[in-house]
Amino acid sequence: MAKTKTSWMVRTRMGEILGPYVQTQLLEEMNKNTFSPDDEIAPSQGVWISAQALLHRDTDEFTQTMTKSRAVTESVSVTPTATTGSHTFTDSQSNAALKLVTEDPQPYAASSPQHAQTFPQPPVYRSSGKNFLRPLIVLIVAGSLVWVALFRKNQHPIEAPAASRQSLPPVTTESPFLREVQQLIKLGRRKAALDKLRSYHQKRKPNNDVAYQVPYAALLITEGESIPRAKKLLEQLVDSTAAPNIRAEANLWLGYIKLSQDIGDFGANHFQETLQIDPKNAAARFNLGRAYLKQEKYKKALEYFQFAELEAPDMWLIHIYKGRARAALSDMQEARFAFMTAVQTAEDRWLNYIYFSLFLVGIREPLAAQNTLQKMLARDPHYEINSPPPLGFYQEPINYDEYEGAFMEVMKSGSRKLQQLGKTYISYLKNGPTSPDGEKLLRMADKGDLTSRVLALKVQLDNNASPNQLSKALTTLPANLSEFGYYAYLLRGEAELRVGRIQEAEEDFKRALLLEPKSAIGRLTYASFLKRTNHVDEAEAEIRNLLNFHPNYIPALEESLNF
């Protein structure tokens, strides 16, 4: 029987992943001194060792030894008990615990956050309705992994792929019409983009005018309007003589439908067809990894997540799924690294903290998990609404009910005050500024700690409190807010601005940026301040700088339209 060729990956000192290489390519590159001795090399699904060590070893022997050492151990599942903080272990195969039991985001309801000349006002999250019940269940793989299992009260619905408000993959034409559609999608105005595409579709057009059909079908899917109609359009494109990249994207979305509906091979064949035409398509690589994850082919899933990472190293979502695949293979050290990387690549994205904290609970580090969620409370809660992933990448919907369930699960053995504070704050974010939760947060601040006082100040700013109320709130805060983090300085700066303390506000905005130079809300707020104080050129420079760090951040993209 022919020997399977091993592919190799290289991890540089800077954390960049290179490859895959076949063995002859790898040795050729090593002989050229392409890699530093401090770089690390691993066969597919093997462990990392230094390049210097590999130079003195037979690669085939290394591959055989290391892949054998990664054999997956027997899995066990854990069911949280209702009365204590302990878990009851039962011997069972728990591959089902490796996935979120439902991946069923609702069509995204675009919000209209206000940013002009004031502290950016957060969009109000609306829950998906009262017909659904999604209680949180925590499961653990190999006695150490916790996953959020989300169940529907009624029949399990079809997953509407949760696409973002980011631009679509490129098409073969640069027509003014499609550029306008792309701009609407980029700015989060997907309904308007869909309306334009629908009107265009109903007009008479040349037979070869098909480039618009991929974004049209994608929005029919993501807006929950008509998956069957989208499927028909995509199938016609795949069988047509359209340009190769259009057929590649049509295959991508056909695969996405199968993946979301748990049909057949979960779309794996369609994603492979896309990669035949466009081998570097990050979304196809990522979704093929997801398909293999659902098929419980964990090594192949991990391989394609790594391939996707080569094209999109800063895509936090890829790192989350890498963590899931690593954990499924009982490689908890690398799983931990993947979840940490997800947090570090998008530090204001709450979902990353949720996953990482659940993983930490799973490996029996409850204090670290609780500290992780406490850090989450100090980050901008609206970043993930304003900076979603690109279309074609799956993301769970922003569901504060699930966030609350995960928070309570992680914090159940922690501080009761922090548990109640976090629960109320998440409920406040879900229900909006006028909800009773805001009043609860204000009462908690009366005799609370720094965290409760900072969150209470946010409530007052959201509700346009009077200058007298803001002045009183400012007296409750210490001069040094570093213990809470950069977001506290932004909130205090905005309060100072509203009571006319311009110089103090500017100092606090600058302090926030010293703590978090890449903060999206920090740079947006400071740019807003510069604009209000007639430093227009400097404000534009701040927005450009922000977009270098966060190219998909919708409020900054909206501001850039005024340049």
Give domain 7-68's CATH number out of 3.30.1490.40, 3.40.50.1220, 3.40.50.2000, 3.50.50.60. 3.30.1490.40
Question: Residue 43 to residues 89, 202, 232, 298: CA-CA distances in angstroms?
Answer: 34, 52, 41, 15
What gap in Å lies between CA 301 and CA 321, rounded to an integer? 9
Sign of CA dihedral 529, 533, 538, 544: positive
Let me know: does 543 contact 137? Beta carbons within 8 Å.
no
Length of the chain: 563
pLDDT of residue 217 exceeding 70, the answer is yes
Cα–Cα dist 529/536, whole Å: 10
- d(C-alpha 19, C-alpha 310), whole Å: 8
Helix or strand or coil: residue 419?
helix
What's the confidence (pLDDT) of residue 301?
A: 98
Q: Which residue has the higher pLDDT, 309 or 150?
A: 309
- Kindly indicate whether the domain formed by 400-560 is annotated with CATH number 1.10.150.530: no
pLDDT at 282 over 70: yes
**pTM of the predicted protein model:** 0.73
Residue where the block lists tokens 């069957």: 228
pLDDT bin (cut points 50, 70, 90) of residue 516 is very high
Q: Which residue pairs from 412-416 have beta carbons closer than 8 angstroms and sit at least 24 positions apart in sequence?
A: 412/85, 413/85, 413/366, 413/370, 414/366, 414/367, 414/370, 415/370
SS3 state at 265: coil
When pLDDT is averaged across residues 473-488 and rounded to a whole number, the result is 97
Contact status, residue 275 vs residue 267, Cβ threshold 8 Å? no
Contacts of 187 (CB under 8 A, 6+ apart): 165, 554, 557, 558
Query: What is the per-residue pLDDT for 290?
Result: 97
Mean pLDDT, all residues of the chain: 80
Which residue spans of the chain are classified as CATH 3.30.1490.40? Answer: 7-68
Nearest 5°: the CA angle 230, 235, 241 is 125
Q: Report pLDDT digits (tens) over 111-153.
A: 433 333 345 544 333 333 333 223 333 333 333 343 433 323 3
Under DSSP, is residue 449 helix (H, G, I), strand (E, B) or coil? coil
What sign has the CA pseudo-torsion 12, 16, 22, 28? negative
- Please give the structure tokens belonging to residue 326: 């690593």
* Res. 362: pLDDT tops 90: yes
For the record, the structure tokens of 519 come out as 């903060």
Residue ranges matching CATH 1.25.40.10 in the chain: 400-560
Place of tokens 């466009």: 278
For residue 304, the model assigns a pLDDT of 98
Q: Which tens digits make up the pLDDT trace of 228-270?
A: 999 999 999 999 999 999 999 999 999 999 999 999 999 999 9
Stronger pLDDT, 223 or 367, i.e. the higher one:
367
With a pLDDT cut of 90, the percent of the chain lying above it is 64
Q: List pLDDT tens digits, range 421-439.
A: 999 999 999 999 999 999 9
pLDDT of residue 79: 29
Q: Which candidate, 377, 398, 401, 400, places its Cα nearest to that of 388? A: 398
pLDDT bucket at 75, cuts 50 / 70 / 90? very low
What confidence category does residue 20 fall into, taking pLDDT thresholds of 50, 70 and 90?
A: confident
Query: What's the confidence (pLDDT) of residue 303?
Result: 97
How large is the average pLDDT for residues 478-503? 97
